[in-house]
Amino acid sequence: MAAAALAYIRTETIPENNTGNEPDDDDDFFDTDVDTDTSTTSCSSIFTETLDYSYRNLSSIPEELLNSDEKRVKIRSLQLNSNSLLTLPAEMFERFLLLTTLEISNNQIVQFPREICLLKNLKNLFVKNNCLDDLSLPKEMEQLQQLEIVNFGGNRLKQYPYQLFQLTNLKEVYLGSNQIAFLPNLFDSLSKVEVLYLGGNQIPSIPDTIGLMKNLIVLNLSGNRLKTLPSTISHLTRLKSLSLHNNQFSTLPPDIIRLDLQELSLRNNPLIVR
């Protein structure tokens, strides 16, 4: 059977109704790739299976996602972005236990489904621009030990989710545009994180343990209430991009001159040159 025909059978991608939106700079795309060389690869492994129900104006989950189906059990990526979803039914996640990517951004979800925490293979979780607050995030999130990328930007969080400090394989964390006003001194547990976005919050200070994030490459602290940075910021020897614009710095933080930065943003601060 031709590879094109196999792709039609094996892939259940629902086309988007709207593809004109440009991604934000913290978005990742996951493509459906087809390997046309079938000489050494079995039919069961040559396709990355994706279900895409984005941009469909859904107010509830389609019935076909709730029905048992052997093919859907093998789905690796489920995309439900940019709909009008308020909730996600618990039974849905029992059908997708092999998911590695879940995208439910740009909805109106108010409660993080506890059943998502059953997805032991999940590596990428995008829940940007919903209505989640601190109490809506279950303790069971700590079980998602394979998570590498998490995006809770644009929600109603008032503190850094403590569950994320237990996820030691995280590499990218996006928590921008929330209402976070306090950061606990626990960043030593996030030593693998390379990208940390905390812009657009209400953070007045950064804890000393930020200096223990040895692999940090990109740090965005813009749009907060910062006046100083801890001296331990100079320990971030891999840091290349530091965003401090739209804060309350009156002087240049002295310790950043020790960093080997490629990008430094300080605009819209009341800086006094001395």
Q: By the 8 A CB rule, do 112 and 138 touch?
A: yes
| Cα 76 to Cα 188: distance, rounded to the nearest angstrom | 31
| Cα 133 to Cα 155: distance, rounded to the nearest angstrom | 7
What confidence tens digit (pLDDT) does each residue in 157-196 have? 999 999 999 999 999 999 999 999 999 999 999 999 999 9
Q: Which two tokens stand for residue 76?
A: 């690796």
Top pLDDT among 251 and 102 is at: 102
DSSP state letter for 21: P
Q: Which two tokens stand for residue 236?
A: 């971030």
| Cα 229 to Cα 136: distance, rounded to the nearest angstrom | 31
**β-sheet bridge partners, residue 50:** 77
Q: What's the pTM?
A: 0.82
Query: Lowest mean pLDDT: which of 71-85, 123-137, 159-173?
Result: 71-85
DSSP states of 175-239: --SS------S-GGG-TT--EEE--SS------GGGGG-TT--EEE--SS--S---GGGGG-TT-
Q: Average pLDDT for residues 127-148, to the nearest whole number?
A: 97
Is 18 a residue whose pLDDT tops 90? Answer: no
The predicted pLDDT at position 160 comes to: 97
Where does the chain show beta strands of DSSP type E? Answer: 50-52, 77-79, 101-103, 124-126, 149-151, 172-174, 195-197, 218-220, 241-243, 263-265
